[in-house]
Amino acid sequence: MAVGILASRLMGLVRERALAYFLGNGEAAAVFKAALRIPNFLQNLFGEGVLSGSFIPVYAGLLGKGDTREADRVAGAVFGLLSLATAVMVALGMGATPLFVDLIAPGFEGEARALTIRVVRILFPGTGLLVLSAWCLGILNSHRRFLLSYLAPVVWNLAIIGTLVGAGSSGVREERLVVLLGYGVVAGSFLQLAVQVPSVLRLLGGFRPTLSLAGESVRQVLRSFGPVVLGRGVVQVSAYVDTAYASLISARALSTLTYAQTIYLIPVSLFGMAVSAAELPEMSRAAGAGEEVAGKLRARLEAGARRIAFFVVPSATAFVFIGDVVAGALLQTGRFDAADTRYLWYLLMGSSVGLVAATLGRLYASAFYALKDTKTPLRFAAIRVALGAVLAWFLALRLPGLLGLPEHLGAVFLTATSGLVAWFESGMLRRMLVRRIGSVGLPKSLLAKLWGAALAAGLVGLGVKVGLASWWGPLPSGVAEWGGAFLVPPRLNPLVLFLSVVGPFGAVYFGVTGALGVPEARGVLRRVLRRGAR
């Protein structure tokens, strides 16, 4: 699963780099990113997150019992009902597009608003195809086939990159390029679904789409479906609030926010989503009664949380100390210049606040889904979103002016606010799990070792960055007090700086955690040495 996600995220970074090259960080980029986000509510409402909480626990549970006939019947019913609901939502979404644009991007006016409406209407059918792709993922994951389902988005990214290179290199106007990108996204959505279908059909013994609600298993999926849909809808409200606030700050703030979220989602997907998605079918298969099931869940939760924390803690530290190096290597090209990279780094600093909490929260929510409890995650998600919306309004739109800070720094408070409320949600989910199955969580001694090693690695990375930048050129005016906010003079290539800094950062982190006896570090080091010996 991690291999598939890594390949998909790396290709996503290539896509973002191509977008940065051809569209930069201006109005056209903001229009495309806002347009892409609006129909995504359909994918997020009915896609992977919802199916993970409603369909996979029931379907994987039937497979665990050996009842393949009932499992196939549930798969066909869910496909039919999901297809019908998606078709209706696509039609409604296309009709209500102007309203969505005004709600999600209230800062857009005139030509920007008209172009966004046009692109959103192009994108909606493609998003419907992605919902069906998520159904394929649910089937594959339940059968422990992880690679293809998480590798499939590579073709989606390739379609967008191909459109960018083909149309962008021909010199079309930015407005026309954004429209063509919309068609490229739809083509990629079709390809992402198509590459999974043959494998899914081979796994299903007798696939027959239906609209039947008969059968307790189907009704169990539907009973879970409602609360999970509401939960995902609540989470989407949070994302749309951030988009709306960012559009009120500036077009640059909106586009930079989406770039930051792309980078932020790399560790969230690689470690939080990968571990949580892999554990969900296994937790759902847990058989037994009472303490026996609770013990199995505790064991899987502890192992998953340790794996997540081992990789996410240094990721959060890297965002703070060397986020500019990462952003510059990934995106600084064409119309995306050093100033854009510096601004993106500030947003990554804010994102680091809740990175660990967000990834652990996914694992805790998966445990509730495995227990067939979808209402508890919904309740805490709703509280988190309401709290986050109020805090973000004050911190992002009002606080910069009160402190005499530039208005564009309000976007930094948007990402930091999301992190703060993520800690609240994660903490409440953990507390409720303790009541249900007993003690869960990470030992304080382990967290101390991980954060200590990550801090040492961050300081080393910062020192290498400052040293190289000082060697190659003087510090930019006004940033020396930051220890080198973005110290990449024209003679020092961002990619060269990235390779020079990330190597020592990673070596120090793995070295220190290994010396402190962290089992995950020693396991990684053993695998590396074993492969090196070959």
Q: Which tokens belong to 240?
A: 């749309």
Stretch 319-328: mean pLDDT, rounded? Answer: 90
Q: Which of 21, 6, 9, 8 is nearest to 331 (CA)?
A: 21
User: Which pLDDT score, from 0 to 100, does residue 486 have?
Assistant: 44
Which is higher by pLDDT, 55 or 130? 130
Residue 106 pLDDT grade (very low, low, confident, very high; cuts 50, 70, 90): confident
pLDDT in tens, 118-149: 999 999 999 889 888 988 988 888 888 888 88
Highest mean pLDDT, choosing among 168-172, 330-334, 394-398, 484-488: 394-398
pLDDT digits (tens, 9 = 90+) for 32-50: 888 887 777 777 666 666 6
What is d(CA 394, CA 419) in angstroms, rounded to the nearest whole number? 15
Residue 367: inside a domain, yes or no? yes
pLDDT at 321 over 90: yes
pLDDT at 483 > cutoff 50: no
Calculate the average pLDDT of the chain.
83
Tally of domains within the chain: 1
Distance CA 276, CA 221 (A): 19
Question: Which residues on neighbouring strands pair with residue 336, listed in sequence order?
Answer: 333
Q: Does residue 489 lie in a domain region?
A: no
Dump pLDDT digits (tens) for 263-277: 888 888 778 777 877
Domain, as residue range, for 378: 2-442
Q: Which residues contact 54 (CB under 8 A, 6 or more apart)?
A: 221, 222, 224, 225, 228, 369, 374
Residue 209 within a domain = yes
> Once rounded to an integer, what is the mean pLDDT over residues 111-124?
92
Per-residue confidence (pLDDT) for residue 236, from 0 to 100:
67
Percent of the chain past pLDDT 90, that is, above it, reads 28
DSSP percent split of the chain into helix, strand, coil, nearest 5: 85, 0, 15
Rounded alpha-carbon distances, angstroms, from residue 505 to 251, 254, 455, 456, 464: 34, 30, 10, 8, 9
Residue 134, domain member (yes or no): yes
Residue type, 399: L
The answer to whether the CB of 409 falls within 8 A of the CB of 344 is no
Does residue 215 lie in a domain region? yes
Name the percent of the chain lying above pLDDT 70: 88
Q: Report the predicted TM-score, pTM, of the whole model to 2 decimal places.
A: 0.70
CB burial of 275-292 (b: ≥16 within 10 Å; e: otherwise) equals: bbbbbbbbbbbbeeeeee
Tokens 């609240």 appear where?
A: 424
Asked whether residue 485 carries a pLDDT value surpassing 70, the answer given is no
Across-strand partners of 333? 336
The DSSP-derived string for 300-361 is: HHHHHHHHHHHHHHHHHHHHHHHHHHHHHHHH-BTTB-HHHHHHHHHHHHHHHTTHHHHHHH
| Cβ proximity of 322 and 461 under 8 Å | yes
Q: Is residue 519 part of a domain?
A: no
Residue 19 has a pLDDT of 87
Q: What is the pLDDT of residue 465?
A: 85
pLDDT in tens, 396-442: 999 998 998 888 889 999 999 999 999 999 999 999 999 888 888 88
Cβ atoms < 10 Å from Cβ of 12: 21
DSSP class of residue 474 equals P
Would you say residue 16 lies in a domain? yes
Question: What span, in angstroms and rounded, lies between the C-alpha atoms of 255 and 335?
Answer: 13
Q: Does residue 484 sit within a domain?
A: no
Residue 209 has pLDDT above 70, yes or no: yes
Residue type (1 letter), 166: G
pLDDT bin (cut points 50, 70, 90) of residue 188 is: very high
Beta strands in 142-232 (DSSP E): none
Instruction: Please state the rounded mean pLDDT for residues 489-511.
Output: 83
Instruction: Give the separation between CA 264 and CA 359, rounded to whole angstroms.
Output: 11
Residues 224 and 374: beta-carbon distance below 8 Å: yes
Q: Check residue 115 and give its pLDDT.
A: 92
Q: Tens digits of per-residue pLDDT, 210-240?
A: 888 877 888 888 777 767 666 665 666 777 7
Query: Is pLDDT larger for residue 154 or for residue 333?
Result: 154
CA 481/CA 462 separation, integer angstroms = 13
The phi-psi region of residue 484 (left if phi > 0; otherwise alpha if psi is between -120 and 50; otherwise beta) is: left
pLDDT band at 481 (very low <50, low <70, confident <90, very high): very low
DSSP letters for 148-161: HHHHTHHHHHHHHH
> Distance between CA atoms of 177 and 23, rounded to whole angstroms?
9
Looking at per-residue confidence, does 524 or 387 come out higher? Answer: 387
Report pLDDT for 492.
67
Going from the C-alpha of 143 to that of each of 47, 82, 282, 302, the distances in angstroms are 18, 20, 10, 23
